[in-house]
Chain A
Amino acid sequence: MRVTAEAKNATRNQILNVAQKQFAQRGFEATTTRDIARAANIGVGTLFNYFPTKESIVDWLVGDACRQAAEAFSAESNNGGQSDAPPSDSATQIARPASLEEDLFSHIAATMRKLKPYRKYLPAALETSLSPLALDQPDGKPSLRATHLETVSRIMSQHGQHEALSAIALQLYWTLYTGVLAFWAKDSSPKQEDTLALLDQSLAMFVGWLSDSNHSKSASTAPKYTSGDER
């Protein structure tokens, strides 16, 4: 009997919902694919057709959350960025434009809000789909890293940074971003407030470094490097 796309989606969603409950109840490490299959009333073989490992379930959940955040950001950008913009300053009645640091913070914070249900098992995704070594996905879709960095590049461009970020800058940014996510996954501070401070200070350092690098570049006669260049 042919399984319709609708039925496939329903089964996939059922697996995802059940898996989240299992992870919450037992913890990610203790949960097995057999546990998930049993709770979803499907065979292990059926489960494997959708998700070969429990890590791939996390990848899907995280990937979906990141995509939703990126789509929301894209939609806001097309609407003139009104939703996340700071309210007007009543003294001037003019909406104050956000800085690059603020926009990057806003994007990452929005992503983290979507990722919040999966925070405790984020480390699994940090070793796979969020890893610096992650390749494009088997279905040809770009990696989460590529998608996120595309959004970052768009934000940079909106703030006048039209040149492509160097390979070093991209790697530095990704290291900071995934470092913050890794910290957040284990953050036991009340309401994970330490992560907010870390994100704030990390972005301040990155943007400051970028600004300094750009000043040096404009003064320097040395050749410029872009992603893909070999030294």
Chain B
Amino acid sequence: MPSVAELIAALPEPAEMPEVAREAPMSPLLEAWSQRPVPVGRFRRLRMLGTLQAQIAAAYTFYWLRGWFKGADENKRLLAETNWRTAMRVLDSMSYLRGAVMKVGQTLANFPDVAPREFVETFEQLHFDAPPMHWSLLKEMVFNELADDPENVFASFENRAFAAASLGQVHAARLKSGEQVAVKIQYPGIARTIRQDIRNLMALMLPARLSRDWENAKEQLDDLRIRLERETDYERETAALQKCRALFREDDGIVVPQVFPEFSTGRVLTMERLGGVHLEEFLATNPSQELRNEFAKKILRSWYRMLFAGRVLYVDFHPGNFLFMDDGRLGVIDFGFMLEMDDTLWELMRKVDRPLTTGRRDDRLAAMKEWSWIGDDPADADRLRLSDEYADWSWRARYCGGPFDFGDEADFRRGVDLFTQMVRKRYTRSRPCTPSIARQLFGFRSILYRLKAKIDVAPIAEEEVRAAGWDRSDYAPPR
């Protein structure tokens, strides 16, 4: 009969974490915001689901057994390692989240306090494919949601998806009334799974709860969980589409698709199918600088119109969410991830408008102190300096006085480096919405970088900010 020590020695070691190649700072960012492929190849990931719980149970069993023979400090190390490996397995099983995993990764990247740096960096580079829905499953989803089979609800319905949604897929169809539509269908049960998996992740990070940044991290992860849940609520997205569509006039040259509520539910969203191509295809036509700039202006205007007139931030600045139409119009699609401005955030936006308009450093410092809760403590001096440099990089296009070259690679890299420095030095503790705003900004800058756009931001900003109704008389330029 072997002793317990011999049994422990005979236990297999938990599997090693997958190696992830480290790449230059630019490519993960651009890759992260590159066009999503239609999902393929899911059996390997699905096979993982069946064994995940067993692996987690085994990992903790091994830890418990080893812990009998270890000292207290070693126990802590083992627990941390077990948590880390388990978290990695939970993350790896979240294959359906794809874009949402990127969003979680960006949040966690702000908090090296609560996760090892290697974990965070690995997380940022993970890319997953969502499980595709075959025709039989799709048919049942439509039957459940719209009370009949797709071939009876629609005049025609394409069996192959033409685009991926972050938690489902999109099919072309035609209504019996003749309209060409895009039908977005969500993978069943995904909302609940997200909620549970993020709760699991937060539980795994509990050992870090004594850290001073834990409460803030928890708040931001909670905020993210709520927003991810919203993204799975297509009824909410329907309302956002209807609200934002009403913000644009025909002469804006910006189109938000019409939604068809009678063919939409919490899990199925039917909207007007716009023509046009995505960024990659548009760039492949070798468009003129003038055309690039025109589209860049429309992208900027769409952001500002929704923000100042709609009081909502379009967070998901992803190339797949914009359509470059043949007639020069810009199509804006996917309204799943929107940040509503509550009164507190709206007031902060109002205060940030001053340095954005004036470009003055003292205005910027005052705004940064308030936004990020930075005091006058000399210990915070470096944090304030770096925050100011980052804010200047973020806002310079608005107050530089003339066209700004968004295609300047050195400038883009500088922004990435500044943000990375802030993360590494743990200076990113601030409002819960900060990860969403950072994501939005880098998404926007990434698209305009790829467009090599050179546009004057200020006139568009000055036109659109009027809708906010703020009193800017003491700092804004005269009309």
Contact = CB atoms under 8 A, between A and B. Distances in A.
Contact of A105 (B50, B136, B187): B136
Given A87-B151, A197-B187, A105 B158 contact: no
Given A87-B159, A204-B42, A208-B43, A196 B189 contact: yes
A101 B436 CA distance: 39
Given A190-B266, A194-B192, A90 B50 contact: no
Interface in B13-32: none
A136 interface: no
A199 B134 CA distance: 12
Interface string B128-153: 00010111110111011100001100
Contacts of A90: 156, 158, 172
- Dominant SS among interface residues on chain B: helix
A159 to B, nearest CB: 14
Contacts of B172: 90
A208 B43 CA distance: 7
A208 B50 CA distance: 12
Interface in A174-211: 189-194, 196-197, 200-201, 204-205, 208
A102 interface: yes
B136 A193 contact: no
Interface string B189-210: 1101100000000000000000
Interface residues of B, number: 34
Most central of A101, A191, A193, A194 by chain B CB within 10 Å: A193
6 contacts: A105-B134, A189-B189, A194-B192, A197-B189, A201-B46, A208-B46
Interface of B: 42-43, 46-47, 49-50, 131, 133-137, 139-141, 143-145, 150-151, 156-160, 172, 187-190, 192-193, 266-267
Given A96-B135, A105-B140, A208-B46, 18 more contacts: A84-B139, A88-B159, A90-B172, A96-B160, A102-B135, A189-B192, A190-B266, A192-B144, A193-B141, A193-B188, A193-B189, A193-B267, A196-B137, A200-B133, A204-B46, A205-B46, A208-B43, A208-B47
Interface of A: 84, 86-91, 96, 98-99, 101-103, 105-106, 109, 113, 189-194, 196-197, 200-201, 204-205, 208
